[in-house]
Structure 1
Amino acid sequence: MTTVMLFGGQGSQRPGMLHRWAELPEVADHVAEASAVLGEDMWDLDSELSLRGTRAVQLSLLTLHSGINAALWNRGFRPDTGAGHSLGAWSAAVAAGVLEFSDALRLVDVRASRMAAAAPAGYGMSAVVGLSEAAVRSLVAATADEVWVSNLNTPLQCTVSGSDAALDRLRLAAADAGAQRVVRLDVAVPAHSPLMTPARAALEDAVADIRAGRPAFPLLANCSGRLLRDGAAVLSDLVASTDQPVQWSSGMAGVTERGVTNWVQCAPGQSLLGMLRGFDGQFRCWSVDSVGLDETVARWRVTEGR
């Protein structure tokens, strides 16, 4: 048996998500550390109003993921592989020991702030469901405007990033082309598009003095969909993926071929588990949000024979 720990990205946030886990010591400790590092009260960042901003979303997700992972680790939970989608890849890097939580906070602060500054208003992302990557790329090319294919999530689900006007035009074109649905995502920036290149450049400067640790388990690269076992390679992928498409589909296909049987998504949400329906395989899936910490560890122990 093998277990993959999944960490969702921007769009998986929920108002009050830190407060929901406030009684968990490891989450409270991470919120306190984040507040000290950033010089502000992190408990204020998970309000519905605050989460309209990219910076609050990314920092809150990183803090919650890291606190919950620490709690699982303290209970003996040990995944064989880690995979984070977009911002979630930073959480996965902390979970595997590639980055110290404090370093990840500072870097994600740079990432989120510069992403928001690069496209301050009138931009976002949409998911196109039911069309192939080739079909979506044809629609994007025909739109001939500020819109790009950004995340390749499953064989029949891609996201596109761009201006509000371009996303509206693409939504109509995708519907005419036979898409099952086009969903506007709760993401305020055109992530993983060329518009994010200034944010990537800022990150390249910010990581210059960061020393990456050796991963405790392999991590899935967002840019290539390959498993990485070298800390420097993980850090390089985190930076590069800022303005590059997330190759989630090819990554998940490669991981499933390794015989993975347990897929666990860290809170909040379970969107990444839903994407597994696009792949062949026998999966045992659950989210920490749904079953809690103790049940997560209990299920893992039974299926792994621990």
Structure 2
Amino acid sequence: MTLALLFPGQGAQSAGFLHRLPQHDAVRATLDEASAVLGVDVLTLDTAEALQSTVAVQIGLTVAGVALARALAREGLEPEFSAGLSVGAYAAAVSCESLAFADALRMVRKRAELMEHAWPSGYGLSAVSGLSETQIETLIAVHAREGGGAVYVANVNAPRQIVVAGANAALDGFAARVLAAGARKAQRLAVSVPSHCELLAEAADALVEFAREIPFRAPRGVYVDNRGGRPLHSGDAIRADLATNMRYTVRWFDALTVMIEAGAHVFVEAPPGQVLTDIAREHYPDAAAIAAAGVEFDRLVAIVKRRLGAAS
């Protein structure tokens, strides 16, 4: 059986997360490379103050994901599948060697700057648990019709775990609406932009132009995209996915299901995430899902090798 690496998106970050990466030569080299490419010490990007910036968060998550993938590869653990949620897709593209790390950093920085500039304040994301996508869409229509403001389905992380985007006032009102309709929880995420909806259409168009000259290659192994939850086999397709994913709904559960059905049985989530691990454990309990952030690195390597050996 095969290994899949999962890379979390914005909202997974916490203060100091880059400082908690494994003490490994591949991690140190990745941090040094990122600092040289960006002209800034990336270890300054994970303070509580720095993480108020979408740019710092997205760069930091990309660095953490690539660092973990490289450390695992150094230990002989290379994935058959690479998939990332939202900005996590950039680390996934580096993991499968479709995109050079330096180019990923430049593209992520541009992406985050475009998102931050498009909606500098007053917008964000909320996670709703306990209602289906169809129920959420029905409530969104009612909310708009009754003057509550526009809300958009941003992520379908699981059948009853939906993330919505919009202005703060619209999200606050929508939280009350979904809770009254039977949702278990409606919680704002640590994201300050309205990701994965048409509000970012112009920003996505600008990123498409920026990415036009960035070289992409066919992936080694399988890259699973955000928008359709399906494998992509060409560099051009992966470029388009990365450049446009900010404006389209992330269908993470579809991506996870595709990997399961294709034979992935061991999933490792890159730091600093746990959410993707929890989703896999809840919906596919026969799979082995491990959050790297919660396990000492040598133990992580041993667990993954043992699980892969048992599954083969």
TM-score (norm 2): 0.94
Partner of 1:78: 78
Work out the CA distance in 1 between the residues paired with 2:70 and 2:291: 16
Which shifted more, 119-128 or 26-35?
26-35
Work out the CA distance in 1 between the residues paired with 2:201 and 2:159: 27
Partner of 1:121: 121
Work out the CA distance in 2 between the residues paired with 1:266 and 1:105: 17
Q: After superposition, give the CA deviation of every residue in 1:24-52 in whole Å (9 maximum; x if it has no partner).
A: 33222222222222222222111000001
CA RMSD in angstroms comes to 1.5
Cα 1:23/1:303, change in 2 over 3 Å? closer
Partner of 2:198: 194
Which of 179, 185, 196 matches 2:189? 185
Please list, as runs of the form range in 1=range in 2, the aligned pairs for 1:1-306 lying within 5 A after superposition: 1-21=1-21, 23-144=23-144, 145-280=149-284, 282-305=286-309
* Identity within the alignment, %: 38
Contact 1:155 1:278 in 2 (8 A): no
Cα 1:137/1:277, change in 2 over 3 Å? farther
Tell me the amino acid that sits aligned with residue 200 of structure 1. A
CA displacement at 1:277 relative to structure 2: 4.5
Q: After superposition, give the CA deviation of every residue in 1:182-220 in whole Å (9 maximum; x if it has no partner).
A: 111111111001111222112111111111122111011
Q: After superposition, give the CA deviation of every residue in 1:235-267 in whole Å (9 maximum; x if it has no partner).
A: 111112110000112222222223332111111
Number of matched pairs: 306
Work out the CA distance in 1 between the residues paired with 2:105 and 2:291: 24
Contact 2:281 2:289 in 1 (8 A): no
Which shifted more, 252-261 or 66-75?
252-261
Cα 1:44/1:134, change in 2 over 3 Å? same
Q: After superposition, give the CA deviation of every residue in 1:125-169 in whole Å (9 maximum; x if it has no partner).
A: 001100010000011111212311110111111100000000001
Structure 2 SS opposite 1:241: helix
Work out the CA distance in 1 between the residues paired with 2:13 and 2:288: 24
Structure 1 SS opposite 2:10: coil
Cα 1:138/1:87, change in 2 over 3 Å? same
Structure 2 SS opposite 1:261: strand
Work out the CA distance in 2 between the residues paired with 1:254 and 1:120: 35
Work out the CA distance in 1 between the residues paired with 2:191 and 2:255: 23
Work out the CA distance in 2 between the residues paired with 1:271 and 1:223: 19
Structure 2 SS opposite 1:128: strand
Unpaired runs of 5+ in structure 1?
Answer: none
Structure 1 SS opposite 2:247: coil
Tell me the amino acid that sits aligned with residue 253 of structure 2. S
Contact 1:76 1:297 in 2 (8 A): no
Cα 1:22/1:294, change in 2 over 3 Å? closer
Tell me the amino acid that sits aligned with residue 216 of structure 1. R
TM-score (norm 1): 0.96
Tell me the amino acid that sits aligned with residue 54 of structure 1. T
Tell me the amino acid that sits aligned with residue 268 of structure 1. P
Contact 2:205 2:244 in 1 (8 A): no
Which shifted more, 126-135 or 60-69?
60-69
Structure 2 SS opposite 1:160: strand
